[in-house]
Amino acid sequence: MRHKEAYEKVFRLLEEHHRWFDRVIPLIASENIVSPAVKEAMISDFGHRYAEGWPGERVYAGCRFIDEVELLCIDLMKELFHCRHADVRPTSGVAANLAIYTAFTKAGDVMLAQSIPSGGHISMGPDIGKTGAKIGGTAGAVARLKVEYLPFDEENFTVDADRAAKAIEEHEPKLVMLGASVFLFPAPVREISEAAHAVGAVVNYDAAHVAGLIGAGFFQDPLGEGADTVSMSTHKTLPGPQHGAIITNSEEHFEKIKKAVFPGVTSNHHLHNVAALAVALAEMLEFGREYCSQIIRNAKRLAEALCGEGFKVVGEKRGFTESHTILVDIWEHGNGAWAEKALEEAGIIVNRNLLPWDIRLGRSFREPGGIRLGVSEVTRLGMKESDMDEVARFIREVIIDKREPKEVFQRVSEFRKEFRNIHYCFESGRLAYEYINLRLQS
Ligand SMILES: *Cc1c(COP(=O)(O)O)cnc(C)c1O
């Protein structure tokens, strides 16, 4: 019966997780929560099927309805992002970036991207072994690219357009990767695309974090500003399943992307998530403007409130943030690892984050100087500006006042009782963290 016990235990843990998340304040910037409709699509039979290739040209049978759903998903992508081509098969944001590397580069080519301390993502990182770099990632380790960093303007918290143009001239990259995991302000896409195109480089904009905001019209329009292709995750500000996608307006680039995605970096492409993405896109087209305008207002308000509580919030000069994300320098109160743990005990879920100057000051990603907060999920739970003031007070009590986290947790879970439903979707009355039980109960 040992295996039956393990089996039972998995479900106990899943249910406990759901109950826990029903009581905490989820502020991880890369996360969100899906609507009941998206969840239903995710547990459909599509999750057991294969459909290699393009709709209508599959190398598997049984794809009649799968093809129709995927074509619908592609159409909804094109409508949300106002673009000519979309590939919805990458199984994640990293897989989408790998497809971009595969389509436009070969081993040994130079790519320019943001460094990780300045907000870049692990998928853009160099190979640790070869370069002696402190932090490595997919671009070097898998695609064998030589990664050079885009100069970063720490005060304005964005890529330095002038110095980046010079770096592009100097390094003559094959690919310039814009976009970041700490994406407070729009990137200088126009200036950088001009410089990149002058040396024949392709510009990809990684919209993993900001895809939802872009689709709803609340962040820059990267294709409109000159980027050639856009890769993304579909589960951060875009409240879909964990999946990826690539869009472009160029026929020529699109043909390369399609081949890179399959047979390059995928075999099955998680068809249940393609269906779930189609549902999420339909809901975004209907409710996205209202949802994303509240995200922006909540993020600004939370940043201001934290500043008012005595925190050093990054980007003050530019109004802290124009996205869902806030970066806080908490070094004077303790390191990011301590803060992450203390806040978790108080029922506030955030993650530690490197600040652009951390490595220079001898700090590491294990104990960095910052924490990153995102408001996508709490906004979906119905929180508004005045609730952000309350959230900022809870954070101050833990980080600055050093109150007992367990005591704060009592009040956090009391506060959360008002925010249990999902908003901005067709079935908005449902409990957000309800555990769906399909098994017979003994
Ligand atoms: C989250 C993220 C990704 C990749 O995400 P997946 O987990 O693979 O979907 C890629 N790029 C950036 C900038 C990200 O923040």
Check whether 129 has a pLDDT greater than 90: no
**What distances in angstroms separate CA 357 from CA 28, 152, 167, 325, 364, one per listed residue?**
22, 11, 20, 18, 11
Instruction: Dump pLDDT digits (tens) for 149-184.
Output: 999 999 999 999 999 999 999 999 999 999 999 999
Check whether 337 has a pLDDT greater than 70: yes
Query: For residue 352, what is the enclosing H or E element?
Result: strand 351-353
Q: Which atom of ligand 1 is nearest to the CA of 233?
A: 9
User: The dihedral of CA 233, 240, 392, 335: what is its sign?
Assistant: negative
pLDDT confidence of residue 134 = 66
State the average pLDDT for the chain. 96
pLDDT confidence of residue 379 = 98
Q: Is the peptide bond before 151 cis (omega within 30 degrees of 0)?
A: no
Expressed in angstroms and rounded, the spacing between residue 95 Cα and the centre of ligand 1 is: 9
User: The dihedral of CA 228, 233, 236, 240: what is its sign?
Assistant: positive
Instruction: Dump pLDDT digits (tens) for 372-395.
Output: 999 999 999 999 999 999 999 999
Q: Which atom of ligand 1 is nearest to the CA of 30?
A: 1
- The shares of helix, strand and coil residues in the chain, as percent rounded to the nearest 5, are 45, 15, 40
- Report the percentage of the chain scoring pLDDT > 90: 95
Residue of the nearest CA to atom 10 in ligand 1? Answer: 93
> Which of 111, 206, 237 should be mutated for ligand 1, with most atoms under 8 A from CB?
206
Ordered by start, the domain boundaries in the chain are: 39-282
Whether the CB-CB separation of 361 and 274 falls below 8 Å is answered with no
Fold held by 39-282: Aspartate Aminotransferase; domain 2 (3.40.640)
Instruction: Dump pLDDT digits (tens) for 260-270.
Output: 999 999 999 99
> Which of 28, 30, 178, 261 should be mutated for ligand 1, with most atoms under 8 A from CB?
30
Residue of the nearest CA to atom 6 in ligand 1? Answer: 93
For residue 305 the two structure tokens come to: 């409130």
* DSSP code string of 242-282: S-EEEEES-HHHHHHHHHIIIIII-SS--HHHHHHHHHHHH
What is the pLDDT confidence band of residue 354, given thresholds at 50, 70 and 90? very high
pLDDT confidence of residue 130 = 60
120 lines ligand 1 (CB under 6 A): no
Residue of the nearest CA to atom 15 in ligand 1? Answer: 181
Check whether 131 has a pLDDT greater than 80: no
pLDDT confidence of residue 1 = 74
Whether the CB-CB separation of 110 and 148 falls below 8 Å is answered with yes
Place of tokens 């870049």: 120
Among 132-136, 192-196, 356-360, the range with the most confident prediction by mean pLDDT is 192-196
pLDDT confidence of residue 127 = 87
348-385 burial by CB neighbour count: b if 16+ within 10 A, else e? bbbbbbbbbebbeeebebeebbbbbbbbbbbbbbbbee
325 lines ligand 1 (CB under 6 A): no
Q: Is 230 helix (H, G, I), strand (E, B) or coil?
A: strand
Expressed in angstroms and rounded, the spacing between residue 18 Cα and the centre of ligand 1 is: 24
What is the pLDDT confidence band of residue 128, given thresholds at 50, 70 and 90? confident
Check whether 328 has a pLDDT greater than 80: yes
179 lines ligand 1 (CB under 6 A): yes
67 DSSP assignment: H
181 lines ligand 1 (CB under 6 A): yes
Q: How far apart are CA 375 and CA 377, in angstroms?
A: 6
